[in-house]
Amino acid sequence: MLISAVELAGLQLPKLPNSRQGIEYHAKKNNWPFEEVVGQARGGKLKKYLVSALPSEIQAAIQEKQAATLLAKVPMLPAEVKKPLRQNKKMRQLGLIPCEEGLARLDDRQTETAHARCAIVAYVLPLHELAGMPIKKAVAFVAAEAAAGRLPEDVAKLIPLANARNNGERSLSEPTLYRWVRAYRAASDSMSRLLALAPVKTREKTPLLAIDWLPYFLMFYQRPNKPTMMAAAKKLAQWYLEQGKIEQMPSYDQIQTVMKRLPEHMKERGRRTGSAYKALLPYIDRDWTALKPNDVWVGDGHSFKAKIRHPMGYLFTPEVTMIVDGCSGAVVGWSVALSETAVAVADALRHGMTHFPPPLGYYSDNGSGETGDMLDKETTGILPRIGIEHFTGIPGNPQGRGKIERLWQTITIPLAKQYATYQGKDADAETLRKVSNALASAQKVQKKGKELSKAQEAALSAAPTWAQFIADLEEAVRRYNFEHEHRSLPKNPEAGRHFTPMKYYEYRMETDGMRVKTDVLSPLELDFMYRPEEERIPDRGAVSLHNNTYFHQGLLDYSGQKVRVAYDIHDADHVIVKDMQGKVICKAVFNGNKRAAFAETRMEQLAERRRKGQAKRLQDKMDLIEAQRQSAAPIIEQQPDFGEFLKLETESGGLVEVENRPSESGRGKKKLRDFLWEDAG
């Protein structure tokens, strides 16, 4: 038997060092013999020491430690495994086997055989009870009729089934029929008759608990690294060899046969852990309809299964946090962040409380984001401050929050599949590889500040922008709340169809109302709840965030200094700006410093004056035309275009339009330009 330094250190023997390096130094110092085997070590060679060549006290310590470990892992077996009671006629007639237990052991073939025997006996009894024939003569008569083939067809076809023979024998002997009749008459009720006439199996399978080698095999098979059945069988053979009990070792065929009988949850125990193993076990289906609206909100985070373009330009996988009402399943709030942090959860809660009254309790898992100080800490946490009880689930038990776990399959995963950057488990591996490589290449070039190729630009354009993703997610949540008819919800008595989550929320609010009437939080209370933040440097009273500009006069004193900008992904009209210590500076408004170039009222006055002037000039021309018609003066059908006369040639040879009107106070004769100005007026 060989043992490595790591294995020796893991045994924590009192006479040896407790580290691998210490064991190797001790072995080298005392010249322990070793062999080099292929393994995960430097140079691909692993040193293993020969146990039989080690000092006797170390050998004894190793054996004691291995024995203690083995006994701790072997499942406890009953002190004495009793063979199951074999059912026979006398035991059933004497009532030694409880009726319910006996019936539970019957398979379909035994039950069908018992029914056929009962039907044949029921054909015999009227001869005795109605015709007065002795019971033995009645049995002999029916047996003779069966041998002669004179029984009714419906009774005769039951004989092969009643005989319970593989050869389908159609004969019916008198002693056999008499035993059936006696057992039938001795039974007190119909269930007892069925049990009394059911055939007993001649060969019962050995109970699993009676298989001596099974617990030892499972010791090697039920491991998280999921060894194959053959690998575990080899380990078992080696263990029997070391114990000197090789004759008790089962064959591989025996192992396969027994493992087929073993239930799935027993085979996978130890091979699966946490929620993966609990998925094989029974569960409790919670009745959420017993709650009232806003009694409990349920929250959870989920990594979106597609790449998104961050507002800063790079690609990332956003973390979506959603809050649903426990009663109706309606999504009351949601948020998106780089990871499932407490800020993301708090922002989703704030979004929910913007439109709905605060709940009595909030139920979530116990991840770091969900149980952060800003949620629960008595002095600053938002939940205690608002009077909300925080319930956390059992670690590794997502089944307890199945109400929201199913939500991802309905909202976010279908949305992610609409994008070319989808990276779910069912995505095509080759397409995913190509898309991932193209995105990685584009990001690498982008970071270096180089120009993107057309292929790289196409790859980046396939990833949705932050604004597009937020808009799509908002629409997906709206469709779920108002259009998705949920099968777990009751049917609408008016429409005869299942309620949508938001419709059921409104219906329960009308019929039951809230347990404690509470108003929606005020804007001031919402402003002092946690929001996602980013650091920015104001410039002349304005800060830029996500390609938007926010202004406030109070930011002028912080020009060139870092500030924290708290924003709402659902409302870009304003942001809350704080200093780096968290003190609120102001509420900056989107484009708050944008003003009209001129006063709106003055521009409207000038426009109105121009409209009146145009109308007056048009009327003067109409009066002139009418006067010319009356005087029969010739009318010029087409006036020449004097536009070129209104341009002056510059020294460089270019033309500029004449903008200044000639002064009316000019002396002397009028020039052509003066007449043109008058006509243009």
Nearest alpha carbon to residue 46 among 34, 59, 37, 56 = 37
CA atoms within 13 A on the CB side of 673: 14
**What per-residue confidence (pLDDT) applies to 623?**
83
Confidence at residue 170, expressed as pLDDT on a 0 to 100 scale? 67
Q: Are strands 389-392 and 361-364 parallel, antiparallel or unpaired?
A: parallel
Which pLDDT does position 198 carry in this prediction?
A: 81
Query: CA 649: distance to chain centroid?
Result: 77
DSSP 3-state of 379: coil
Beta-carbon contacts of 651 under 8 Å, excluding residues fewer than 6 positions away, are: none
Rounded CA separation 284/425 (Å): 28
CATH class of 531-590: mainly beta
Helix (H, G, I), strand (E, B) or coil at 613: helix
451: which strand partners? Answer: none
In the CATH hierarchy, which fold is given to the domain comprising 2-73? Answer: Arc Repressor Mutant, subunit A (1.10.10)
Q: Do 297 and 325 meet the contact criterion of CB atoms below 8 Å apart?
A: yes
The Cα–Cα gap between 555 and 59 comes to 77
pLDDT, position 79? 36
The per-residue pLDDT for range 228-285, each reduced to its tens digit, is: 999 999 999 888 888 888 888 888 888 999 999 888 888 888 888 776 777 777 655 6
CATH code at 288-419+463-511: 3.30.420.10
Residues lower than pLDDT 70 in the chain: 1, 38-44, 63-102, 166-170, 201-204, 275, 282-287, 338-342, 366-381, 393-403, 593, 595-606, 632-681
The amino acid that residue 476 corresponds to is A
Extract the tokens encoding 391: 């319930």
Taking residue 103's Cβ as centre, other Cβ atoms within 10 Å add up to 17
- Residues present in the chain in total: 681
Contact 623, 639 (CB under 8 A): no
**What pLDDT does residue 632 have?**
55
Q: For residue 549, what is the enclosing H or E element?
A: strand 548-551
Which residues, including other chains, have CB under 8 Å from residue 282's CB and lie 6 or more apart? none
Cα–Cα dist 337/523, whole Å: 23
What are 569's two structure tokens? Answer: 């992904």
Q: Rounded CA gap, 315 and 309, in Å? A: 5
Report the relative pairing of strands 389-392 and 533-536 from DSSP bridges: unpaired
Cα distances (Å, whole numbers) of residue 526 to 350, 529, 567, 604, 663 = 7, 5, 12, 40, 66
Distance in angstroms (rounded) separating the CA atoms of residues 540 and 556: 5
pLDDT of 401: 57
